[in-house]
């Protein structure tokens, strides 16, 4: 629990996973945040950010989609159609964190591959295959947080944009409220479906659905018990 023992209210946010069929297969846009940023400085993320008053619409889903489109335009100078966004997951920061977000992940095809970073909050960008992103994170070339890493693991199932859209369009969005703990002195994020999720105990025998912080890099683990 944080120092005041009061659970912080998560701030509503939206993120968009932008896909293209590139020379190496299915590729995704990732962007590096300014190292001086107040949140996740230096980390590689998908375009997105907090919902603002200007994003408000008649429904919560449309509000989130508007925020995702606006943030993508501001950070990458890319136009995306909010109506094309496919809702794939929801990540709520663990209750123990002092700063929390309720982030909704969407997927969208790229209309253009020409990215222009804003140079303020975002300082670099790259198109990568899911396998490249996972490998670069494991080799400590880039830093990513678990929601980004898990999304890349999901995308490995797809070889084209059309295939990814079909896959996620037919799948129910997955909701995550991670529970943080330690196993063998390693930080563990437990996800729904993990044998230890309900109790918060990572040592419970059974199915594994978690991220482990191993040598300062996250590793995603999903197995059956």
**How high is the pLDDT of residue 3?**
47
Could you say which architecture CATH assigns to the domain 11-177?
Answer: Alpha-Beta Complex (3.90)
Do 220 and 193 meet the contact criterion of CB atoms below 8 Å apart? no
| Banded pLDDT at 121 (limits 50, 70, 90) | confident
User: What mean pLDDT do residues 143-151 have?
Assistant: 97
Q: Which residue has the higher pLDDT, 126 or 184?
A: 126
Per residue in 19-44, pLDDT (tens digit) is 999 999 999 999 999 988 877 889 99
Cα-Cα-Cα-Cα torsion 158, 160, 165, 171, nearest 10 degrees, comes to: -10
Q: With cut-offs at 50, 70 and 90, classify the pLDDT of residue 212.
A: very high
Please state, for a pLDDT cut of 90, what percent of the chain lies above it: 84
Spell out the domain ranges in the chain.
11-177, 178-225
The pLDDT assigned to 194 comes to: 97
pLDDT band at 1 (very low <50, low <70, confident <90, very high): very low
């Amino acid at each position: 629990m944080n120092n005041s023992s009061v659970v912080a209210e998560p701030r509503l946010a939206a993120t968009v996973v932008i896909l293209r069929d590139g020379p190496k297969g299915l590729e995704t846009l990732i962007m590096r945040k300014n190292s001086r940023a107040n949140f996740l400085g230096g980390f590689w993320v998908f375009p997105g950010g907090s919902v603002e008053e200007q994003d408000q619409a008649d429904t919560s889903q449309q509000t989130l989609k508007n925020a995702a489109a606006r943030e993508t335009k501001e950070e990458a100078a890319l136009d995306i159609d909010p109506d094309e966004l496919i809702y794939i997951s929801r990540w709520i920061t663990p209750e123990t964190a002092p700063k929390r977000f309720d982030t909704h992940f969407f997927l969208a095809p790229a209309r253009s591959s020409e990215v222009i970073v804003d140079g303020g909050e975002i300082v670099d960008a790259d198109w990568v295959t899911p396998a490249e992103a996972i490998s670069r994170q494991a080799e400590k070339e880039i830093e990513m947080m678990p929601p980004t890493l898990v999304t890349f693991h999901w995308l490995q199932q797809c070889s084209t944009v059309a295939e990814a859209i079909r896959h996620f369009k037919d799948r129910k969005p997955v909701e995550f409220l991670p529970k943080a703990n330690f196993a063998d002195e390693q930080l563990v994020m437990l996800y729904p479906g993990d044998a230890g999720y309900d109790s918060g105990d990572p040592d419970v025998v059974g199915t594994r659905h978690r991220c482990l912080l191993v040598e300062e890099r996250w590793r995603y683990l999903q197995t059956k018990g």
